[in-house]
Chains A and B, each alone.
Chain A
């Protein structure tokens, strides 16, 4: 349609209008900017952040929950580790398999250290041996088989007498005749007479049948149980000392922190001892504690020369060792049962409803019970509120100090009266709460809690009546809904409830005090006391 003169005149007249700027207009604009969260310069990012503030709140709450769970999980893991360590210390040592028993005999130790018997050779370093050593090696090869067999016999005997060790039923041990032990015991019994005559330490004296002399003696001694002078009887004697009349001898007790090679060296040093050395324990038993301590230190401080140890023989012996599947013996006693604290996280899901003042909400709620004490709950509820009923729009304006027509009916015919105004609010909210369970009985608990309501949406529902236009008579009802701006944090809540728990079902009921963070239609911020009921299913 072509513009005619009339419309052209109207256009020119209307476009010529230029209202003047006043400070009141800018103040009004600033109020709008503040309400929208744009307090900074126009176009800044402040508004964007404020617009997504509910996302920030949700992210913050989620982060806090995850951090809490992480800290709690860490504490639980540490607690379980401590309990596991305590249980492992208190538990009895199970029967050792045959293979382990054989290896453990090389160093008579306490049960705890025998478990660490296995030595893994990762690198072999050939060492130029001395002539005396070669002679010893020759002799050693000669005696290897016999020595090994007898060693095993002695080991088995020793093991059977060590407290805490259990003979495996399927394991046939070659026990040394009792007479041998008796002989050794007799020798031990007679030894103090000789030893008392010489006050020098046993390790400083020469072995009766030692191969080397003087300084070579130690090297010879360190060659271990395979040396010619180290007969099986001598080994048995040494082993018997661990279980003999002086079973408390410090030298035969465990040194758990030492490596197996150290133990082996110490054992070798003892095995190369003379008859007098074999009975040194008796001497020490009768002697002072200082002497015993010094002797033990000397035994430990004997130079260990790796080159003098015949690793070939040891490796060969290890290969000859029959590898048998460890016989799993039945536990001699039932392991102790320990009550584990209730640390599981329990999840609940159910329905919730609450009523306070003019508000009523109902919806789904999920709860997480942490450690049986802390209760963290979240959900989605629909909250309805009757904000007010007014006779006319003038009544609304008078009571609320607002303008109904301008606020809700700007285009409505001003000549037409408005009656029976009802204003309702419908919000979808996330109720969050953190509670602490105080058990009152087997199925009853007290649950004080603090929480908050987060708004997801806010819709105002308005309904009013008006007189029908002429010539129609009577009244019509007009109802409509308007979306309102959403404030992320709606209200704080403080509540206490009684919780009844039966199998999988949990019922909660109690009081709820809500402190809103926004004003109602009258511009008032007032706390409201109400009740809350929840029915939950516990998984």
Chain B
């Protein structure tokens, strides 16, 4: 059964691009629906995972565009570079990191996930989202700093105050 076999893989993609589990389920169902409807277009010579991943990412982008109208009214806080101990990140649970990612604004989250996890270049991200490439670069940098800041806030004990240790990274 296709849905059961690829459910975990697909759900993890959807969770990265959405702010909640319910929203992720919406994107997941919509993505699988598209996959079922266009199953005849699938090329057997290619891996199904890659095809399904493309569909899910595109569905998530559509979902982002649909909700983009609300984001312009939300405040974009200026993020400052924060030093984070890499060992702290390594010791964090995946669900904790996912929880922090989901707290990012949709634009930050989408740009960061597309570039970092799904391997799109910033130029491709800019084209897919319909933004300026410079804006996307700036957005990615802000998203990265924001995520580091959130890690520091959630795990203050593990973040060195002066960020002078040799393992600290920016």
Contact = CB atoms under 8 A, between A and B. Distances in A.
Task: Check if A and B associate.
Answer: yes
B117 interface: yes
Contacts of B54: none
A165 interface: no
A1 B122 contact: yes
Most buried by A among B23, B30, B73, B122: B73
Contact of A469 (B33, B74, B97): B74
A28 B37 contact: no
Interface in A1-20: 1, 3-7, 9-11, 13-20
Given A18-B9, A38-B33, A43-B40, A7 B3 contact: no
Contacts of B8: 18-21
A290 B3 CA distance: 99
A443 interface: no
Interface residues of A, number: 42
Nearest to B92: A13
Contact of B12 (A18, A42, A412, A470): A18
Given A17-B12, A29-B32, A469-B74, A10 B147 contact: yes
Main secondary structure on B side of the interface with A: helix
B140 interface: yes
Contacts of A29: 3, 29, 32
Given A13-B94, A469-B75, A7 B144 contact: yes
Interface in A28-62: 28-29, 32-33, 36, 38, 42-43, 47-48
Contacts of B32: 29, 32
B71 A43 contact: no
Given A21-B4, A469-B75, A28 B29 contact: yes
A480 interface: yes
A406 B70 CA distance: 13
A466 B73 contact: yes
Contacts of B89: 6, 9-10, 13
Contact of B16 (A14, A470, A478, A480): A14
A331 interface: no
A14 B37 contact: no
B29 A19 contact: no
A33 B22 CA distance: 17
Contacts of A36: 33, 37
A28 B106 CA distance: 25
Nearest to B12: A17
Interface string B1-31: 0111001110110011001001101000110
A17 B73 contact: no
A470 B74 CA distance: 10
B97 A10 contact: yes
Most buried by A among B15, B19, B97: B97
Interface string B81-100: 00010100110101101100
Nearest to A415: B74
B7 A19 contact: yes
Contacts of B71: 411
A411 B106 contact: yes
A119 B125 CA distance: 94
B15 A411 contact: no
B51 interface: no
Interface residues of B, number: 54
Contacts, number: 123
Given A19-B11, A38-B37, A411 B70 contact: yes
B98 A9 contact: no
Contacts of A43: 36-40
A127 B61 CA distance: 100
Contacts of A13: 89, 92, 94, 97-98
B86 A17 contact: no
A77 interface: no
Nearest to B148: A6
B69 interface: yes
A9 B25 contact: no
B29 A14 contact: no
A410 B67 contact: yes
B15 A38 contact: no
A14 B12 contact: yes
Contacts of B113: 14
A42 B19 CA distance: 28
Contacts of A409: 67, 70
A7 B170 CA distance: 11
Contacts of B90: 9
B86 A480 contact: no
Nearest to B90: A9
A5 B169 contact: yes
A419 to B, nearest CB: 14
A208 interface: no
11 contacts: A6-B169, A7-B116, A11-B117, A14-B101, A17-B95, A25-B11, A28-B25, A29-B32, A32-B29, A411-B70, A469-B75
Top 4 nearest A-B pairs by Cβ distance? A411-B67, A43-B39, A42-B36, A18-B8
Given A7-B144, A18-B8, A411-B70, 17 more contacts: A1-B115, A5-B169, A9-B89, A10-B117, A11-B117, A13-B97, A14-B98, A18-B9, A21-B4, A25-B11, A38-B37, A42-B36, A43-B36, A413-B74, A466-B73, A478-B70, A478-B73
